[in-house]
Amino acid sequence: MKQEAFQARHGAEWTRFEHWLDARQARQRQQRAQADTIMAASEFPSALRRLCQQLAVAERRDYSTQLVADLRGLAQRGHQVLYRPRPPRLRLLFDFLAAGFPRLVRAQGACMAAAAALFFVPLIAVAILLQWHPELIHSLFDSRQLAQFENMYNPLHHADRLGRDGGADLQMFGVYVFNNVSIGFRTFASGLLAGVGAVFVLVFNGIIIGGVAGHLTAIGYGGPFWDFVAGHSAPELLAIVIAGGAGLHIGMALLAPGRRSRARALAEAGVDGAKLVLGVFAMLVLAAFIEAYWSSIVWLPSTLKHAVGLALWSLLLLWLWRGGRSPAPMHADGGADASG
C-alpha cells in the first residue's frame, strides 16, 4: 500500500485519537469532559494498540519519516496516558504504614541495628560519662549555648511552656516539622555518599542529645528535661535511626552491591529508601505534633508524662517488631507500590 492510501485509510482514526488526547489534557474541566464524546475511555487501550501496529507498519514500509514521526509522537503520548501511575489511595497508604513499613524495617534489620548502635551508643556513653566528668560538657557546647539549655529547663524558673524560649504551639510545630523532617530526609540522602553522611548524622546527633541529657541531669535540671522529652522521644529518635538505617542501606548498595550490578543495587536500595522515608516522614510529623502540643505542657504530673512516653516507646517498638506479621492477607506490597 502506498503512503497516501495508508494515510487516507487511517487518518480519521489518528485525528480522533489526537483529539481525545488533547481533550483529556485540556486545562478546562468542560473540555476534559468532552473527551468521552470523542472516544470512550474503555476503547483507548485497543486504539493505542492499533496505532502502535500502524506505526510499526509505517516504519516497516519506509513511509516518510514525517509520517512515522507523527505516529510515533501520538504513540508516545498514548503511552504516557496508558502507563500513568495510579492515584494514591488512602486505604493502601494505611496498609503500608500498618504492615509494609515495619516489614521493610525488619527486612533491613542489619542496617537498622547498625544505625541504632551508631546513634544510641554515643548517646548513652556521653550521658553516663557526664555524670562522672561534668566538665567535659564544655568541649561540646560553648557557655552561651549551655546557658540557653539551662535557662530552658531550670526547675526554679516557671516558664509557661517547657522546652522552648517562648513561641506559640503552632509556631513550634512548624519549626519542628521544618527542621526535624528535613534532617531525616538529609540523613537518608547523604547515606548515598558511601554511608558517610548517615554515619556522621547519627553519631553527631547521638553525642549532642546525650550531651544535653547528661549535662542537665548532672546539674539537677533533669526533672523538667525528662518531662519534656519523654513524650516525643520514641517517634523522633526511632525515626532518625530508621532514616539513618535507610541511608546506610543505600551506602552499602554503592560499596558492596553483592551479586547485583551496582546500578541495580542502588535502584533497589533507592526504592526501599523512598518507602522508608515515607514512614519516617509520618513518624517525625507525629513527633513534632507531640513535641509542640503535649510535651510542652507544664502543669501535667511527671508520672503521667513518663508513662505516656514509655507507652509510646512500647507501642512503636511493638509496631516495628510485629507489624505486618498478621496471618490475615495484607496488601502490603500493593500498598507500598501505590503509596510510593
List contacts with other proteins (CB under 8 A): 1-5, 25, 48-49, 52-53, 55-56, 61-67, 69-70, 72-73, 75-76, 79-80, 83-85, 88, 167-175, 177-178, 181-182, 185-186, 188-190, 192-193, 197, 250, 263, 266-267, 269-271, 273-275, 277-278, 337-340
Exposed / middle / buried, residue 132 (Cβ in 10 Å: 0-12, 13-18, 19+) = exposed
Based on CB atoms, which residue is closest to other proteins, 188 or 221?
A: 188
CB of 5 to other proteins, least distance (A): 5
CB nearer other proteins, residue 73 or residue 109: 73
Min separation Cβ 104 and other proteins, Å: 12
- C-beta of 339: minimal distance to other proteins in Å? 7
The nearer residue to other proteins, 45 or 223, going by C-beta atoms, is 45
- For other proteins, the closer of residues 96 and 225 by Cβ is 96
The residue among 183 and 300 lying less far from other proteins, judged by its C-beta, is 183
Ramachandran sector of residue 292 (left: φ over 0; alpha: ψ -120 to 50; beta: rest): alpha
Q: Quickly list DSSP for 68-85.
A: HHHHHHHHHHHHHHHTPP
Q: How far is the CB of 307 from other proteins (least distance, A)?
A: 28
Cα–Cα distance measured from residue 130 to residue 143, given in angstroms and rounded to the nearest whole number: 16
Task: Tell me the C-alpha distance between 51 and 305, whole Å.
Answer: 66
Question: What is the identity of the amino acid at 17?
Answer: F
Q: How far is it, in rounded angstroms, from Cα 233 to Cα 253? A: 30
- What's the min distance (Å) between Cβ of 27 and other proteins? 11
* Residue 12 contacts residue 4 (beta carbons within 8 Å): no
